[in-house]
Amino acid sequence: MAHRNLVILTGAGVSAESGVPTFRGADGLWEGHRFENVATPQAFARDPALVQRFYNLRRAALSTVQPNAAHHALARLAAEWKGDFLLVTQNVDDLHDRALAEVTPGPGFELIHMHGELLKARCTVSGVVSKWRGDMAADEPSPDHPEGRMRPHIVWFGEMPLSMDRIGRALAKADLFVSIGTSGAVYPAAGFVQEARFAGARTVEINLEPSLGASLFSEGVYGPATETVPAFFETLSRPA
Ligand code: BJW
């Protein structure tokens, strides 16, 4: 069956084989950190030095990793796809961006980082977002507001994920929804499959192993993303 309106959700599993740790696996990112100590607004208010150090290390680690075959397969798809294609990533790394920079995506393509980006910072008062490559100090001053401090442009627990209206509109008209490398443990992303099903979409999970929400999908493809993602999209018929 040919599809036209595609929504793909990616999670930490798509970057795992690039060497970016997942959150909840063995050796996961939360190991050694209670997430409420580093990934909540309350943690940042309580101990900004700890939170900034956690994100400074992860930001610096980005220079040691490269996009893998799964990121490149999705970038090729973005270049070839003639219909609408919304790629929603929960990942705060820039590996999709780097793979996409090597192609010319089609006019119907868009990438959304719904949980923010490690390479951006935000003023706590004005909300202005700017690119950020180096370390951030615990009390990093804001260039946008005398009272402001800079914080990582990251969606922490209890905060509203980004571009939810845009994502909701795409899910409401999706005819194919593919979820890649996410445990389905975090909402609202974990609920996207139900929104896509409601719209009548074919729903596919691609993961190392069945996730918490595997039974919500009409199909599952299991194995490492660098193998399963290129193979799956190779066989997908493209809209004319
Ligand atoms: C491979 C692989 C390979 C490995 N190949 N696969 C009940 C209902 C609804 C909501 C809530 C609820 N209770 C609490 C909430 C709210 C809360 C929440 O969901 N909490 C849960 C713990 C239950 N959510 C929020 O607070 C969110 N905001 C919110 O809800 O606002 C209100 C709202 C509601 C509705 C609509 C709109 C607004 C905000 C969530 C922010 C999440 N932030 C984090 C941290 C970001 C910063 C950072 O990076 O430090 O985002 S949490 C962390 O989890 C990160 C990730 O993006 C996210 C998802 O993790 P992901 O990607 O799934 O990784 P893992 O490690 O869990 O899984 C990896 C998967 O890969 C596994 O399945 C492996 O098998 C697989 N894999 N290698 C293929 N080679």
> Which residue is listed with tokens 């599952």?
220
Q: What is the pTM of this model?
A: 0.96
* Distance of CA 42 from the midpoint of ligand 1 (Å): 18
Identify the active-site residue in 96, 113, 115, 153: 115
- Is 71 part of the annotated catalytic residue set? no
Q: What is the residue-averaged pLDDT of the chain?
A: 95
Distance 59 CA to ligand 1 centre (A): 19
The order of strands in the sheet holding 202-207 is 109-113, 84-89, 5-10, 176-180, 202-207, 219-222
Locate 207 and state its tokens: 């993961």
Query: For residue 92, what are its two tokens?
Result: 């705060």
For ligand 1, atom 15, the nearest C-alpha belongs to 187
Please report the pLDDT score of residue 65 as a whole number: 98
pLDDT in tens, 37-82: 889 999 999 999 999 999 999 999 999 999 999 999 999 999 999 9
CA atoms of 138 and 239, how far apart (whole Å): 49
Q: pLDDT digits over 81-137, tens only? A: 999 999 999 999 999 999 999 999 999 999 999 999 999 999 999 999 999 999 999
Atom in ligand 1 nearest the alpha carbon of residue 155: 41
